[in-house]
Amino acid sequence: MKAVILAGGFGKRLKPLTDERPKPLIEINDKPIVELQLEWLKSHGVQEVVLCVGFMKEKIIGFLGNGKRFGAKISYVVEEEPLGTGGALLNAEPILKAEDSFLVLNGDILTNLDPAPLISSIDDFIGAIALVPLKSPYGVVDVDEDGRIARFIEKPLITDYWVNAGIYCLTPRIFPYLSEKCSLETDAFPRMVEARALKAIRYHRCFWKSIDVHKDIEEAAVALRKEGFPTPKAGVGYLR
């Protein structure tokens, strides 16, 4: 199976770090995000990777090369102007069209979730999306019936709500839903939902972190030291 890493964005919210390097080369515990992603993919038997690159593409290609030193086989699809996540994936159609299915992940995601349930869930669907519980950005106060504070809960997972983890298993039937410049999330996926062609796999007790702003870097570094990335600890699971 092949995996696609969407790594063409500008990383504007991580300036000034991204003035000199693209977001996939931002280091977490002395390793670039993209290297951690390759380790995670390799731990699940995925060694053929397509990088969709744009902004500072030369630096990404210069660091990764053909992937041999990372135990991977890497190819590149270059966007000369921003195409959006959907346009970038459409750009890779010649490499992917013969595959039964392929993984797709955003270039700023760190996780130890097991992609196997996502891959095996495709069936008659065009694609499947990994979902993770919404994490509260604030601490929560638990109050009893008498109005007494029972406990404080620091940034809990809110399992009534699930968010797109930015990790997908898709089939080549996705390509008719894409255009030269479009977004997977806001253009293609809603149309697939209307066609009842998109499935979700809900993950819980797994590590997942999107590197969007500066504080995410330190939070990810601390969490990864605890989680033993990319190998999940006992108890990591999923819910259909």
| Cα Rg, the chain, nearest whole Å | 18
Contact in structure between 37 and 8 (CB atoms under 8 Å): no
Residue 77 lies in a domain: yes
- Other Cβ atoms less than 10 A from the Cβ of 163: the count is 14
Q: Is residue 81 part of a domain?
A: yes
In angstroms, rounded to a whole number, what is the distance separating the alpha carbons of residues 5 and 53?
A: 9
- Asked whether residue 42 is domain-assigned, the answer is yes
As for how many domains the chain has, the answer is: 1
Beta-bridge partner residues of 31: 28
| pLDDT of 147 | 83
In 10 A of CB 3, how many CB atoms?
Answer: 24
Task: Give the residue numbers spanning the domain of 15.
Answer: 2-234
What's the rounded Cα separation, in Å, for the pair 240 and 238? 7
Coil/strand/helix, residue 204: strand
Note whether 110 and 207 are within 8 A (CB).
yes
CATH number of the domain that residue 181 is part of: 3.90.550.10
Domain membership of residue 240 (yes or no) is no
pLDDT band at residue 217 using 50, 70 and 90 as cut-offs: very high
Residue type, 19: D
Q: Does residue 239 belong to any structural domain of this protein?
A: no
In this predicted model, which residue has the larger pLDDT, 34 or 227? Answer: 34
Task: Give me 228's structure tokens.
Answer: 């033993």
Per-residue pLDDT tens digits for 5-59: 999 888 888 999 889 999 999 999 999 999 999 999 999 999 999 999 999 999 9
The first and second tokens of residue 136, run together, are 């509260």
57-64 vs 33-43: helix crossing angle, rounded to 10? 50
Residue pLDDT, tens place only, 154-202: 777 777 789 999 999 999 999 999 999 999 999 999 999 999 999 999 9
DSSP character for 185? I
